[in-house]
Amino acid sequence: METPLREPTFLILTALAGEPLHGYGLIAEVDRLSGGRVSLRPGTLYGALDRLVDAGLVRVDHEEIVEGRLRRYYQLTEPGGEVLATETERMRRNVDAATARLRAIKAAPRLSGGVA
């Protein structure tokens, strides 16, 4: 799996870092995690899940029948957890760097324009 991860992929892995989720639950969780910014559609979601399963980052945990319909639950694998941790650390470093720069700007605001 290529890194840095795209945002939907990152959010899917993050959503699966908790308990196993089925397709609809996963879409709802990604929507909640992103504050409504990322709303996955099923075709996109299952395409991403297939790639993650192929890469060994996600696996099918179990299946159950609810009201005559099959529900398949997905879970993060150990390598998936490692990728998520590495990616989170990379993003954290970026956030720290950006935060430090922004604090420095606020502490010492530059003068704009020439001296009157």
Partner 1 sequence: MTDLERRYARWTALFYPAGYRRERGSELVDTYLSLAAPDRKRPSAADVADLAVGGLRQHLRIAQGLGPGFRLAGVLALATLAACATGWAIFEAVVPWAPWFPQRGPFLSSLGVPVWAAWLVAVVVYVAAPGRWFRGAVGLAVLVTAGSVVLAAMVPGVHRPPLFVLLPQVVLGIVALGAAGRQPRWVRQLPLAAAAAIVPVAVSTAPRFVFSGDFYYEAGATALPAAAVTLLIGGALLAFGLAARHDHRGVWALLILLTPIGMLALNPLSAMLDDTGPGRSIIPVWSHMVGASVLVLMVGLVSMPLAIAARGRLPSGGRPVHTDAVRCPTCGAPSASVR
Binding site for partner 1 (CB under 8 A): 23-24, 27, 41-47, 50, 53-54, 59-65, 69-72
Tokens of 79: 């390598």
Nearer to partner 1, 64 or 89 (CB): 64
CA distance 30 to 14: 8
Task: Report the alpha-carbon distance of residue 83 to residue 4 in Å, rounded.
Answer: 10
Minimum CB distance to partner 1 smaller for 43 or for 113: 43
Residue in the block written with tokens 């324009």: 113
Measured from the CB atom, the residue of 63 and 96 that comes closer to partner 1 is 63
Torsion of CA 73, 74, 75, 80, to 10 degrees: 180
All residues at 6 or more sequence positions from 56 whose CB lies less than 8 Å from its CB, including other chains: 77, 79, 80
Least Å distance, CB 98 to partner 1, is: 30
Q: Which is nearer to partner 1, 54 or 89 (CB)?
A: 54
The least distance separating partner 1 from the CB of residue 71, rounded to whole angstroms, comes to 8
Rounded least distance, CB 1 to partner 1, Å: 15
